Amino acid sequence: MNVLCHLGLDFQSKAIPLDSHIKLIDGLSEDPEDHLVSFIPIIGRHNARLEKAHLLYAATRPTIEQKWAEGATLIDIEKFLYSWAPEPYRNKPMPKGMIQALLLIAPNSQKWTPRDLSNCIIRNAEATDSIDDMIRALGKLGTSEDPTMPDSRTTPLNGLSETHLPQHENPP
């Protein structure tokens, strides 16, 4: 049984050269106690998270750029990020410097770019994050409304709204 075929990967395609395929299989089968089939759900979850991160990037980029142009501040970004944080940190203020660390900007910086927030979303996205909820919360940046996100663990993976997805968008 070919593990990569179960994941929808064809090692003969241009996407995965044969030598990379061999290295992957060798790495996965290095420990004789491990069975290749046991990696299928793990790699599948990881792929689902990466796919959702790409969809979130494509769907949220216009809103993030608009909010940046309108002057949304790091305080606005903090409200969004703490509403998106996992329990037990959800909707609680973050320690000093945490926003800068999440955005990968200088520790004392008070400026952000759309790319900073988009990359943060890509790095931290879960397969269960809802595109519609993310856009709704980002749309509240810079307003008096709090950007609230529901618990991402309760949002179905297939609950995607493709109306928000621009065509042919690639993450940075």
* Structure tokens that stand for 162 in this block: 């493709």
Q: Are residues 82 and 138 in the same domain?
A: yes
Q: Are residues 73 and 104 in the same domain?
A: yes
For the chain, what is the domain count?
2
Q: Is residue 55 part of a domain?
A: yes
Average pLDDT (51-55) is 93
Query: Nearest 5°: CA angle at 104, between 152 and 111?
Result: 100
Q: Are residues 68 and 92 in the same domain?
A: yes
Q: Are residues 23 and 64 in the same domain?
A: no
More confident residue, 87 or 152: 87
pLDDT at position 158 is 39
Q: Are residues 96 and 74 in the same domain?
A: yes
Could you tell me the pTM of the whole model? 0.69
pLDDT at position 32 is 77
Q: Are residues 11 and 77 in the same domain?
A: no
Instruction: Give the residue numbers spanning the domain of 59.
Output: 47-164
Which range is least confidently modeled, 35-39, 139-143, 152-156?
A: 152-156
pLDDT at position 76 is 93
Q: Are residues 149 and 97 in the same domain?
A: yes
Highest mean pLDDT pick, 5-14, 36-45, 80-89, 103-112: 103-112
pLDDT at position 6 is 52
* Structural contact between residues 103 and 31, judged by C-beta atoms closer than 8 angstroms: no
Which range is least confidently modeled, 43-47, 93-97, 146-150?
A: 146-150
Q: Are residues 14 and 54 in the same domain?
A: no
* Structural contact between residues 81 and 94, judged by C-beta atoms closer than 8 angstroms: yes
Q: What percent of the chain has pLDDT over 70?
A: 77
Mean pLDDT in the chain?
A: 80
pLDDT tops 80 at residue 85? yes
Distance, CA of 155 to CA of 120 (rounded, Å): 20
Q: Are residues 106 and 28 in the same domain?
A: no
Average pLDDT (47-69) is 94
Q: Are residues 130 and 54 in the same domain?
A: yes
Q: Are residues 75 and 159 in the same domain?
A: yes
Q: Is residue 171 part of a domain?
A: no
Residue 129 burial by Cβ neighbours in a 10 Å radius (0-12, 13-18, 19+):
buried
pLDDT at position 39 is 83
Q: Is residue 124 part of a domain?
A: yes
pLDDT at position 8 is 53
pLDDT range class, residue 18, cuts 50, 70, 90: confident
Q: Are residues 51 and 29 in the same domain?
A: no
Tally of residues, the chain: 172
Distance, CA of 15 to CA of 29 (rounded, Å): 22
